[in-house]
């Protein structure tokens, strides 16, 4: 069936989606009494294990899966009650769930497909990384198609109900969800598409590219997220948040959010403090960009 075929492809998108595929397979097996659903569940479980235990460690220079410490499984098992309290604590989690309920008119929970949401929400809320909890990043992208499909699954049953009030709800919930989406849009990242400044070239563009053009092809560079995509085609790029070897070049961008609330004011001092025993010299300082080069 198409759902099994398309669902099986999700394991190649992101490692945690193996659990999502597993649950999707179980839902299909339960709802349609289909063996294909059980095979899909097994497929999802297999790829989850392969992804985090074999493939990603093999591609990692450290030989490990770097995100295995995001959830303290041992601590959760040692104190289940505290784990449950932690799972449901945090304003950002309530915001995420609230927006999901609004986006699906709350009625999507009446569909078995809503169970497919559980794995992603569980790992996000169980993690100690607060960035996973809220709706600000891309982690809810996989949830939205599920919500809408679940709502589509519920609506025909409401509209064919023998109870007038349920038919009335089924008739209005679709337009209501659209109105809610439009009302929430100005506060979402997508609203930036309507802002003229989104299409204006940054005044720092020329400086950034002159700085990056000064880096020799094949050199190793440590950078924040903002410039990494521009650097990657020609350089060996390290993210500043990792435990890296001393790079040939290091960039401090005064406007890159990767640094957090405090950016280093002196790139040379930062580089030499981060990599003791290495010496660096400043080779570019303009428009909030500092580029330092390791001195042999």
Task: Return d(Cα 20, Cα 104) in angstroms, integer.
Answer: 19
**Same structural domain for residues 80 and 222?**
no
| 186 shares its domain with 52 | yes
| CB-count burial class (<10 Å; 0-12, 13-18, 19+) for 119 | buried
Q: Looking at the structure, do residues 9 and 66 belong to the same domain, yes or no? A: yes
pLDDT tens digits, 103-152: 888 889 999 999 999 999 999 999 988 889 998 888 898 999 999 999 99
Q: Is residue 107 part of a domain?
A: yes
**36 within some domain:** yes
Tell whether 198 is covered by a domain.
no
- Torsion sign over Cα 214, 219, 222, 226: positive
Residues 73 and 217 in one domain: no
* Sign of the alpha-carbon torsion through 90, 96, 98, 101: negative
Six token digits for residue 102 = 């609004």
pLDDT score, position 119: 94
Question: In this structure, are 88 and 110 located in the same domain?
Answer: yes
Q: pLDDT tens for the chain, 296 residues: list them.
A: 788 999 999 999 999 999 999 999 999 999 888 899 999 999 999 999 999 999 999 988 778 888 888 888 888 888 888 888 888 899 999 999 999 999 888 889 999 999 999 999 999 999 988 889 998 888 898 999 999 999 999 888 888 887 887 888 888 888 888 898 888 888 888 888 888 988 998 999 999 999 999 999 999 999 999 999 999 999 999 999 888 999 999 999 999 999 988 889 999 999 999 999 999 999 999 999 999 999 98
- Domain count along the chain: 2
Give residue 94's domain range: 2-192
Question: Do 209 and 289 meet the contact criterion of CB atoms below 8 Å apart?
Answer: no
Ordered alpha helix ranges (H), 185-237? 205-213, 225-231
Kindly state whether residues 50 and 185 are assigned to the same domain: yes
Residue 249 lies in a domain: yes
Q: Is residue 115 part of a domain?
A: yes
Phi and psi, residue 17, nearest 5°: -75, -10
Burial class (CB in 10 A: 0-12, 13-18, 19+), 108: buried
Nearest CA to 250 among 287, 290, 205?
290
Structure confidence at residue 197 (pLDDT): 87
Are 226 and 84 in a shared domain? no
- 52: DSSP letter: I
Query: In the prediction, which pLDDT does 223 show?
Result: 97
Q: N- to C-terminal Cα distance for the chain?
A: 61
pTM score, whole prediction:
0.77
Residue 200 lies in a domain: no
Helices (H), the chain: 2-8, 17-32, 35-50, 56-59, 73-78, 80-87, 91-103, 118-126, 143-159, 164-184, 205-213, 225-231, 267-274
Structure tokens at 13: 């998108």
Could you tell me if residue 199 is inside a domain?
no
Q: Is the dihedral of CA 44, 45, 47, 51 positive or negative?
A: positive
Whether 180 and 226 map to the same domain: the answer is: no
pLDDT value, residue 273: 95
Q: Mark whether 290 and 181 lie in a shared domain.
A: no
Instruction: Based on the fold, state whether residues 227 and 133 are members of the same structural domain.
Output: no
Residue 177 is assigned to a structural domain of this protein:
yes
Q: Are residues 181 and 226 in the same domain?
A: no
Domain boundary among 192, 220, 242: 192
- d(C-alpha 236, C-alpha 220), whole Å: 4
Q: Are residues 187 and 220 in the same domain?
A: no
pLDDT (0 to 100) of residue 160: 80
């Amino acid at each position: 069936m198409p759902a099994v075929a398309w669902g099986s492809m999700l394991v190649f998108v992101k490692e945690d989606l193996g659990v999502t595929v597993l649950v999707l397979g179980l839902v299909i097996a339960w709802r349609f009494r289909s063996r294909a659903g059980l095979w899909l569940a097994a497929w999802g479980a297999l790829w989850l294990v392969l992804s985090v235990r074999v493939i990603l460690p093999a591609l990692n220079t450290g030989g490990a899966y770097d995100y295995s410490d995001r959830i303290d499984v041992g601590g959760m098992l040692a104190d289940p009650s505290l784990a449950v309290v932690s799972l449901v604590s945090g304003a950002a989690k309530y915001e995420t769930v609230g927006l999901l309920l609004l986006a699906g008119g709350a009625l999507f929970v009446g569909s078995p497909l809503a169970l497919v949401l559980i794995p992603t929400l569980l790992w996000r809320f169980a993690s100690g990384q607060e960035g996973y909890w809220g709706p600000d990043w891309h982690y809810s992208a996989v949830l939205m198609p599920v919500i809408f499909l679940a709502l589509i699954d519920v609506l025909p049953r409401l509209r064919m109900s023998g109870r007038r009030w349920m038919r009335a709800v089924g008739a209005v919930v679709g337009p209501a969800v659209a109105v809610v989406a439009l009302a929430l849009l100005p506060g979402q990242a997508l609203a930036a598409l309507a802002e003229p400044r989104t299409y204006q070239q940054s005044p720092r563009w020329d400086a950034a590219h002159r700085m990056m053009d000064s880096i020799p092809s094949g050199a190793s560079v440590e950078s924040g997220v903002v410039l990494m995509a521009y650097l990657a085609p020609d350089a060996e790029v390290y993210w500043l948040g990792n435990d890296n070897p001393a790079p040939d070049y290091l960039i401090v961008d005064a406007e890159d959010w990767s640094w957090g609330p405090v950016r280093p004011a002196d790139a040379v001092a930062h580089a030499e403090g981060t990599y003791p025993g290495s010496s660096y010299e400043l080779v570019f300082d303009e428009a909030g960009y500092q580029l330092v080069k390791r001195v042999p």
